[in-house]
Amino acid sequence: MRMIDLIERKKRAGQLREEEIRYFIREFTAGTIPDYQAAALLMAICFTGMTEQETAWMTDAMARSGDQVDLSSVPGVKVDKHSTGGVGDKTTLILAPLVASCGVPVAKMSGRGLGHTGGTVDKLEAIPGFRTFLDRETFLKNVREIGVCVAGQSGNLAPADKKLYALRDVTATVDSIPLIAASVMSKKIAAGAQAIVLDVKCGSGAFMKTAQDASCLAREMVKIGQACGRRMAAVITNMDAPLGRCVGNGIEVAEAIAVLKGNGPDDLRSVCLDLAAQMLSLARKGSPEECRLIAQKALESGAALEKFEQMIIAQGGDASILNRPQALYEKALEYELSAPQDGWIQRMDAESCGRASMLLGAGRETKDSVIDPAAGIFLCKKTGESVRKGELLARLYTNRPDQLEQACETLRESYVFSAEKPAKIPLIYDVILDKSSLFS
């Protein structure tokens, strides 16, 4: 088999055979296919696409390229969730203990973020002492004993994706729906859960800018999961404004704690309840409507908060932050950004909010940048709210006063004002279910 023949055929929109895709993934992971040939194939895929069958073969090959987590020692239906990534997305911090408190085990491997804000692992590490890197036995033991563990992705899970993603990142080949679908699903399949809920973000702060692209990606991932024997659901959620009011790491943990205490912003709580409903329903706890009520009760009763406390303690963290969540960001200097004019906030550019928070120290500019857990933003005003000139728009937290001016400018530019009250944008655009996972 010659790589040049595969590139040539894909360039002309031809289809690759199963053994060719498996050859490419195997040999690229082993280092015998050079980056320039892999990049040429990736670019051809970006231009001419892949069929569902090709994408499923690629996903399977990538999922089998390294370790596959065996969750069979944990009783019950194990449910995982994945977000395609957005600004202020702290849903995992809420969902993992929430779903576990409803009796469904959550064994979740999460990543760090690059750019914008940190990933779930960075957020959890804002909790003093919290360990995200656990050996496989400890990870499984925690899930067996308390029903939940959220850990960093181990070194050898889907190594093909790790290598391919690094190459895509520097060759402008990230934004291909089949490549994103294969990348996300290979990690989810390797992580071992029987049921997977996807939170596909759509809008200015997401990979997918339009509802049509988000729906296409969601459908593709649901089909791949189904083909690999997983129960699947995908929820397409709005990412035109940051989710909740906090963007950063420690400050997002504080906001997640507020939701777990039955408070917190409505948009964040509502999206979490919708995602929890799908997770519980895939675990056969009832219809999504019934499961949403079960999850709501777990927030109101304090059961979800108690589960989060158990999770923090089991992973070596300081659970006293539950009583003083502001300790997670109060070490940073606080600045205020006020509104430059009267008006309604017509829209926000979520990506710019993410960039502002990165400038404050909450995200990574390069792979090796060090995150400041206390840095971040509290948005006093968001899309759909009115403001008077001089009123507080946001509070910024940073230990990098030299970056403050640029961060303020970036954040100010993310707001678009208007004289008219803007129309309400839905939080959830669509829910895509695989028919076999429908509750009956």
Which CB sits closer to ligand URA, 115 or 422? 115
Q: Is 116 part of the annotated catalytic residue set?
A: no
Q: Which residues contact 19 (CB under 8 A, 6 or more apart)?
A: 1
Q: Is 338 part of the annotated catalytic residue set?
A: no
Cα–Cα distance, 281 to 304 (Å, whole number): 17
Which CB sits closer to ligand URA, 180 or 304? 180
Q: Does 183 bind ligand URA (CB under 6 A)?
A: yes
| Residues 82-121 interacting with ligand URA (rule: CB under 6 A) | 84
- CB-based contact 171:165 (threshold 8 Å): no
C-alpha of 30 from chain center: 29
Q: Does 43 bind ligand URA (CB under 6 A)?
A: no
Q: Does 227 bind ligand URA (CB under 6 A)?
A: no
Q: Is 11 part of the annotated catalytic residue set?
A: no
Which CB sits closer to ligand URA, 78 or 168? 168
- Residues 202-221, mask of contacts with ligand URA (x by CB under 6 A): -----x--------------
Q: Which residues contact 229 (CB under 8 A, 6 or more apart)?
A: none
Q: Does 153 bind ligand URA (CB under 6 A)?
A: no
Q: Is 430 part of the annotated catalytic residue set?
A: no
| Residues 377-436 interacting with ligand URA (rule: CB under 6 A) | none
Give the interface segment with ligand URA, choosing from 179-187, 222-230, 348-356, 423-431 (CB under 6 A): 179-187
Strand order of the β-sheet with 428-433 is 79-83, 195-202, 231-238, 428-433
Shortest CB 192 distance to ligand URA, Å? 17
CA dihedral 257, 262, 265, 267 (to 10 degrees): 110
Q: How many residues bind ligand URA (CB under 6 A)?
A: 8
Shortest CB 386 distance to ligand URA, Å? 35
- Closest by alpha carbon to 74, among 95, 94, 109, 104? 104
Q: Which residues contact 205 (CB under 8 A, 6 or more apart)?
A: 86, 87, 88, 116, 239, 240, 241, 242, 349, 350, 351, 353, 354
Q: Does 180 bind ligand URA (CB under 6 A)?
A: yes
| Residues 246-285 interacting with ligand URA (rule: CB under 6 A) | none
10 Å CB burial of residue 366 (0-12, 13-18, 19+) is exposed
Q: Which residues of the shown chain bind ligand URA in the complex (CB under 6 A)?
A: 84, 165, 174, 179-180, 183-184, 207
Report the catalytic residues.
82, 161, 168, 183, 187
